[in-house]
């Protein structure tokens, strides 16, 4: 067999040889070509002789070794030396192939009783594993490539983990990361946490941070556990649409769905039904205590705790909704009202004109989160509602530029704006567009930045490449308008000198 095998060469190898020969002839030329035309050329006659010898039918494609092994040894079970029984099904397999699995390698190489058995009954404690998954996993030991369907990846991953097949586990992880969507994000995250796929968990969280608020979905909200929702709500990477009040509203809808799992309706009707349910509960049960203090509300306390209330109570309409809903404990709001009141006094009377040094930890923990959807290319100008300590920031998108402007002079009410010569802020601006499954198509970020603006001064935040733009375009911003540690900051003269020397300072 070995001698016969050496006589054959694969079609691809033949093509390579032909290509190499052609290249050589072109480069060096045939010596016989230098002769006169009527003189026979030996190399031409030899080529014709070789072609005649090789003139055999090539239409029939030979079965590859891998395919032959899979069909003959795995599917047909020929020359099997061990039988595996599991979940009511049998597989006639081969120890030499099973030893690719860490599970079977340890079983056969040690002093276990199974090492000399001809039939092994596998106990399958994992409910995610079924016979179809075992068929795929056992078959993967006999072939080079395995097709993993996204709908079957959880079961295959479970079986691969049980049998300790690292290559197949990695392939399952890649399949999951490529197929995260509304229908799979929560299931894939839960599965990845069970089987220790940290990279898949991270990818699912990134998808959820991008899509929870930008593409709200009833079924997704029903599936989200309190543990995952808490991770999302506390993150500064959450893509918030509009303002922080919308985070609170999304949580209210999510909580309603968790307690009313049979609710079925369009997303537009969800908030009205959630409000009606809360109102009816307060009326029927004569509840005066906040909902999060009740038995039904306790599981949701840790999630609502991460709402950044300081950016909700700075808007009158939003503050009134918080009081009406009576979801939050009063002491949560009292402490925030007190903190914001002192921040306002410092800004007005103590010359706190904003963050004067980099404090990324504080920024991640407590920055204002807001966003906007640009449905198509055009000119846009907007501000986010709420009192931001006299800093009226206008955001403009025009001619593919995003511009910040400190709006000071054109104000309807003189007391609503700070007249300090300079104001500082920390910010991060992100842009993103998504495909139909919520996967990022393009994204841009300024990263963490410090900025100084004088009265009515404008600053170009980002210049966009039109080739990278895809609409609708989602804009998400994080801001800090006041100093995180105001009581320890230097006086105004020291502060001005710091900003003058600060290499991160940006001026128009």
Question: How many domains, in total, are found in the chain?
Answer: 2
- By DSSP bridging, strand 473-480 and strand 368-374 are antiparallel
Task: Specify whether 377 is located in the same domain as 469.
Answer: yes
Final residue belonging to a domain, choices 285, 320, 350: 350
> What pLDDT, on a 0 to 100 scale, did the predictor assign at position 492?
39
Q: Are residues 470 and 375 in the same domain?
A: yes
Are residue 335 and residue 424 in the same domain, yes or no?
Answer: no
Residue 93 lies in a domain: no
Per-residue confidence (pLDDT) for residue 186, from 0 to 100: 97
Tell whether 322 and 387 lie within a shared domain. Answer: no
Handedness of CA 409, 426, 449, 250 (dihedral sign): negative
Q: Where is the domain boundary, 350, 383, 415? A: 350
Examine residue 390 and state whether it is found in any structural domain, yes or no.
Answer: yes
Same domain for 389 and 471, yes or no, is yes
Those residues with Cβ within 8 angstroms of residue 416's Cβ, 6 or more apart along the chain or in another chain = 387, 390, 392
pLDDT at 499: 35
305 in the same domain as 236: yes
DSSP 242: B
- Tokens representing 250 are 């999304």
Give residue 412's pLDDT.
62
Task: Confirm whether 281 is domain-assigned.
Answer: yes
- Residue 502 in any domain: the answer is no
Both 372 and 290 in one domain: the answer is no
Give the domain CATH number at 474: 2.60.210
- What pLDDT tens digit does each residue of the chain (508 aa) get? 333 333 334 434 443 443 344 444 444 444 444 444 444 444 444 444 444 444 444 545 556 788 999 999 999 999 999 999 999 999 999 999 999 999 999 988 877 776 778 999 999 999 999 999 999 999 999 998 899 999 999 999 999 999 999 999 999 999 999 999 999 999 999 999 999 999 999 999 999 999 999 999 999 999 999 999 999 999 999 999 999 999 999 999 999 999 999 999 999 999 999 999 999 998 887 778 999 999 999 999 999 999 999 999 999 999 999 999 999 999 999 999 999 999 999 988 888 889 988 899 999 999 999 999 999 999 999 999 888 998 999 999 999 999 999 998 876 655 578 888 999 999 999 999 999 999 999 999 999 999 999 999 999 999 998 777 889 999 999 999 998 754 443 443 433 333 333 444 443 3
> What residue numbers bound the domain in which 368 lies?
360-480
- The answer as to whether 440 is a domain residue is yes
Claim to verify: residue 386 and residue 447 sit in the same structural domain: yes
Tell me which of 324, 350, 376 is where a domain ends. Answer: 350
Residue 115 lies in a domain: no
Residue 505: the pLDDT is 42
Distance of CA 50 to the CA centre of its chain: 59
Q: Evaluate whether residue 184 is within a structural domain.
A: no
On whether both 373 and 339 belong to a single domain, the answer is no
The enclosing H or E element of 85 equals strand 82-86
Q: Which of 450, 430, 432 minimizes the C-alpha distance to 440?
A: 432
pLDDT at 296: 94
Distance CA 217, CA 436 (A): 13
Examine the domain organization and report whether 334 and 376 are in the same domain: no
**Strand 82-86 to strand 119-121: parallel, antiparallel, or no bridges (unpaired)?**
parallel
- Contact (CB, 8 A) for 391 and 354: yes
What is the spatial distance between Cα 478 and Cα 238, in angstroms, rounded to a whole number? 10
Clarify whether residues 370 and 470 are in a common domain.
Answer: yes
Smallest Cα–Cα separation from 267: which of 253, 248, 246, 252?
253
Position 119 in a domain: no
* Packing angle, helices 166-178 and 153-162, rounded to 10: 160
Q: Which conformational region is residue 235 in: left (phi greater than 0), alpha (psi within -120 to 50 degrees), or beta?
A: beta
Neighbours of 451 (CB within 10 A): 23
Q: Same domain, yes or no, for 321 and 396? A: no
Report which of 256, 298, 257 is spatially closest to residue 278, judged by C-alpha positions.
Answer: 256
For residue 72, what are its two tokens?
Answer: 């003959």
């Amino acid at each position: 067999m070995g001698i016969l095998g050496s006589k054959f060469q694969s079609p691809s190898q033949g093509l390579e040889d032909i290509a190499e020969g052609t290249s050589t002839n072109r480069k060096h030329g045939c010596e016989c070509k230098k002769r006169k035309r009527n003189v026979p050329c030996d190399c031409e006659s030899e080529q014709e002789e070789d072609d005649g010898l090789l003139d055999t039918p090539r239409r029939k494609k030979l079965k590859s070794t891998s395919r032959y092994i899979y069909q003959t040894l795995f599917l047909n079970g020929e020359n099997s030396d061990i039988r595996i029984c599991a979940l009511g099904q049998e597989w006639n397999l081969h120890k030499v192939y099973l030893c690719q699995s860490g599970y079977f390698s340890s079983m056969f190489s040690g002093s276990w009783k199974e090492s000399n058995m001809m039939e092994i009954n596998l106990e399958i404690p994992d409910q995610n594993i079924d016979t179809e998954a075992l068929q795929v996993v056992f078959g993967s030991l006999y072939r080079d490539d395995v097709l993993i369907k996204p709908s079957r990846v959880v079961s295959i991953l479970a079986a691969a983990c049980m049998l300790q097949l690292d290559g197949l586990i990695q392939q399952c992880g890649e399949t999951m990361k490529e197929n995260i969507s509304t229908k799979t994000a929560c299931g894939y995250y839960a599965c990845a946490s069970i089987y220790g796929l940290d990279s898949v968990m991270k990818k699912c969280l990134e998808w959820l941070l991008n899509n929870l608020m930008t593409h709200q979905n009833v079924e997704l909200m029903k599936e989200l556990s309190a543990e995952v929702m808490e991770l999302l709500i506390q993150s500064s990477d959450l893509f918030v649409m509009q303002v922080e009040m919308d985070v609170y509203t999304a949580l209210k809808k999510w909580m309603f769905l968790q307690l009313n799992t049979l609710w079925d309706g369009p997303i537009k009707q969800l908030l009205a039904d959630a409000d009606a349910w809360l109102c009816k509960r307060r009326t029927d049960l004569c509840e005066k205590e906040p909902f999060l203090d009740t038995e039904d509300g306790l599981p949701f306390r840790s999630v609502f705790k991460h709402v950044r209330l300081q950016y909700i109570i700075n808007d009158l309409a939003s503050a009134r909704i918080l009081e009406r809903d009576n979801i939050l404990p009063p002491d949560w709001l009292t402490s925030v009202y007190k903190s914001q009141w002192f921040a306002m006094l410092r800004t007005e009377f103590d010359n706190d004109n904003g963050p004067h040094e980099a404090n990324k930890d504080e920024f991640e923990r407590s920055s204002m989160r807001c966003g906007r959807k640009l449905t198509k290319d055009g000119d846009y100008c907007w501000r986010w509602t709420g009192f931001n300590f006299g800093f009226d920031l206008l955001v403009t998108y025009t001619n593919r530029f995003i511009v910040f402007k400190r709006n000071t002079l054109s104000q309807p009410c003189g007391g609503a704006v700070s007249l300090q010569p300079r104001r500082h802020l920390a910010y991060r601006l992100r842009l993103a567009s998504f495909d139909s499954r919520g996967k990022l198509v393009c994204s841009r970020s300024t990263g963490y930045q410090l900025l100084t603006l004088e009265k009515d001064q404008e600053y170009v935040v980002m210049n966009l490449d039109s080739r990278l733009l895809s609409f609708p375009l989602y804009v998400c911003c994080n801001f800090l308008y006041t100093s995180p540690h105001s009581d320890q900051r230097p006086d105004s003269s020291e502060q001005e000198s710091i900003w003058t020397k600060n290499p991160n300072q940006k001026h128009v």
